[in-house]
Structure 1
Amino acid sequence: MTSIFRAVMGTDFDRLHPQLQRRFSVGLSTGEACTGQGVMDRIWHGGPWLKPFLTLGTTRNILVPRTGRNVPFTIENVPYVDTYGRETVTFVRTFDLPGGPRRFDAQMVLSPKGDRILDYLGTHQHLATDLHFTAEPDGSLLISSGEHRFREGPVDVRVPELIGATAQVRESYDDSTARFRIQVQVVNRYFGPLFGYEGSFKATYTNTQRCGVRPGLRPVREESRA
């Protein structure tokens, strides 16, 4: 048994920086969870017309409606078995913004065919997207999103390009500072950059059998459809 990230990347996983290999080895097989704590140098948005959509997203812990600089930040990557028996790894990001913390929740599982990671967004997993993982020549990790789908009850539709977006996440490790660096950018094909953040953090690892999954980390509702 191996982590869902090593499983989807195959031998490409071995090209990652050793610290990234450890971070993305969190899972049931290693029995480790990873918590990153650091600072986002910048959280940015596109035009002001986006604010209502970003604010709506916060009701389900999707995206962040505020901008900021030097924002304290935590990311929790904890493995568990979901309601449908799938190994799941949380990607719960908490931004300590003025006026109160804001969360951006996601849970990742391996697709049934093992060829991609499924990223379920928010507290109710209404949005799902395909993620593709690539090791870059410098040992950093590039995560690119694919098709987005919306699920609510009997509704199961592909999100049109006009209102959808693509995301790129770059994670690297800086040996000189012993910190992970992350850069996220979400872009709409027609309207340009929508949202993003960049910063750095240090990681600590804990034993999941001893610590478990803290209350509030798992979603309220889980989606079975891939």
Structure 2
Amino acid sequence: MTVTLFDPPAPVADFRAGSIFRAALGAEFERLHPELQRRFGFSTADGIACIGTGRMERIERGRGVVAPFLRLGTRRNILFPEHGRDVPFTIANYAYRDGFGRETVTFVRTFQFVRPRRFDATMVAAPGRPGTIVDYLGTHQHLAVDLRLGVTEQGGLVISSGAQRVSSLVGAPLLPAAVTGRADLHEWFDEREGRFRIRVRVTNPVVGLVLGYQGWFTAEYPRVGPEGVPSHVRPVRESFRL
């Protein structure tokens, strides 16, 4: 069951737009490879999901000092301490309206280690901030991260994280850079192999690499039936704080 941190304010029109990625990128969205346009171009109105299945060819983590923090993150499905090669992987993207009426997309990544690990996020548009999406991390949306989007010359999608806030606290205070991780993602479509490829690195200005992974997946677009979005991909708690 999903709960909210506090009563939502009056609905905002921008929160009810179609694809949040199309809205963030504007005309740049059309430069994405057609397969990425399909993958990131749907919204609640389309009644579909995107389910990716593949393998992460390499998953690495930083120095031992980061391991305790990564283990702590597993309690809320935010990062994990394991590393390895050729790890089975799935990603579940569902579009739905959250408790505040915002168009929302799930990014539930599952890494099939001996003990499966999840890295959960839910994304919403950032009204008044073109090119930006807000990424709520974990099962309880404790952290809200600004994401800046761009398109490569080859039609790939690049995402870089910016300001990070503790959305579970009043005022959503900013976290200092020294205790946060900067995430850089590049996703593109490999036409020769007929599949998506992804590369992610999370770094910290003090310790360097925190976590990184790269690999591939193929995607299916199942219909979302009358039962709606599965409860296991939705957060336990929602926050309105951006």
Pairwise same-fold verdict (TM > 0.5): yes
Larger relative contact order (CA 8 Å, sep ≥ 6): 2
> What is the aligned partner in structure 2 of residue 107 from structure 1?
122
- Provide the TM-score with structure 2 as the length reference: 0.90
Q: Give unmatched runs, 5+ long, in structure 2.
A: 1-16
Distance 1:57 1:166 in 2: 16
The one-letter amino acid of 2:205's match is: R
- Provide the TM-score with structure 1 as the length reference: 0.96
Distance 1:17 1:210 in 2: 31
Q: Please say which of residues 9-18 and 212-221 is displaced more in the overlay.
A: 212-221
Give the length in aligned residue pairs. 225
Q: Label 1:155 to 1:55 Cα distance change in 2 as closer, same or farther (>3 A).
A: farther
> What is the aligned partner in structure 1 of residue 144 from structure 2?
128
Matched ranges for 1:152-167 at <5 A: 152-154=168-170, 156-167=172-183
CA deviation map 1:169-196 (0-9, x unaligned): 0000011111100000011122211111
> What is the aligned partner in structure 1 of residue 94 from structure 2?
78
What displacement does 1:210 show? Answer: 4.7
Report if the CA contact (8 A) 2:161-2:182 is conserved.
Answer: yes
The one-letter amino acid of 2:186's match is: R
Report if the CA contact (8 A) 2:24-2:125 is conserved.
Answer: yes
Distance 2:165 2:22 in 1: 25
What displacement does 1:147 show? Answer: 0.4
State the secondary structure of the residue aligned to 1:207. coil
State the secondary structure of the residue aligned to 1:91. strand
What displacement does 1:30 show? Answer: 2.5
The one-letter amino acid of 2:197's match is: R
What displacement does 1:67 show? Answer: 0.4
Matched, 1:208 2:224: yes
Q: Please say which of residues 146-155 and 189-198 is displaced more in the overlay.
A: 146-155
> What is the aligned partner in structure 1 of residue 3 from structure 2?
none
> What is the aligned partner in structure 2 of residue 27 from structure 1?
43
> What is the aligned partner in structure 2 of residue 177 from structure 1?
193
Report if the CA contact (8 A) 1:7-1:114 is conserved.
Answer: no
Distance 1:89 1:218 in 2: 9
State the secondary structure of the residue aligned to 1:206. coil
The one-letter amino acid of 1:204's match is: E
The one-letter amino acid of 1:206's match is: P
Distance 1:109 1:6 in 2: 12
